[in-house]
Structure 1
Amino acid sequence: MIIGSVRCELLIYNVHSLKEKRSVLKSVQTRLKQRFNLSVAETDFQDVWQRAELSIVTVGNTRTICEKELQRATALIDSEERAERTLTDYEWL
């Protein structure tokens, strides 16, 4: 069993409140959970308007399977026009 995780720092554009930021993040998190077999959580920068960190975790039989799922997840984040992925850190257990 392999556990793969990725931490993504995001810059969120054109938001002027935490409520607007949460709206963008909630949309991304919901799409990730519905389309892929992943767990997603906001793990840092909860009190900053235009910055966020999402942690995404998946479990699989092989590292290749986990890697593909996490790459699809980062591609979905990259497709979000209101946010830009800046730092990405993968971890394997």
Structure 2
Amino acid sequence: MFVGGCTLTLYLHGNNSLKGKRQAVSSIKGRVKNKFNIAIAEVGEQDNHRKIILGIATVSGDKNRVRETLDIAVNFIDEMHVAELLESRIELY
């Protein structure tokens, strides 16, 4: 069994409220959950209205499948254009 985790740092340009951030995070999480069989949560910077830190996790018996799923999910989030992707870090166990 292989577990993959990814931490994403995103930046919301022009956002001035936590309400706007919550809407953006909710949109990202909802679309990702509907498209992929992965867990996703906001894991940091909850009080910063422009910075989003998301954690993503997936499990599979195939290490390459774990990596591929995370790569595709990161690209999907980036292509949503809800927020600018500043950094992504993938770890496999």
**TM, length-normalised to structure 2:** 0.95
> Structure 2 stretches of 5 or more lacking a match?
none
CA RMSD of aligned residues (A): 0.8
The DSSP-based 3-state class of the residue aligned with 2:8 is: strand
Number of the residue aligned with 1:17 = 17
Offset, 1:91: 1.1
For residues 53-82 of structure 1, what are the alpha-carbon distances to aligned partners after superposition, in whole Å with 9 as ceiling and x for unaligned? 000000001111111111111011111223
Instruction: Tell me if the contact between 1:7 and 1:55 (Cα under 8 Å) persists in the aligned partners.
Output: yes
Please identify, of 55-64 and 81-90, the stretch whose mean Cα deviation from structure 2 is larger: 81-90
Q: Is the 8 A contact 2:28 2:82 kept in 1?
A: no
Q: Which runs of 5+ in 1 are unaligned?
A: none
Runs in 1 of length 4+ with deviation above 3 angstroms? none
For this pair of structures, how many residues does the alignment match? 93
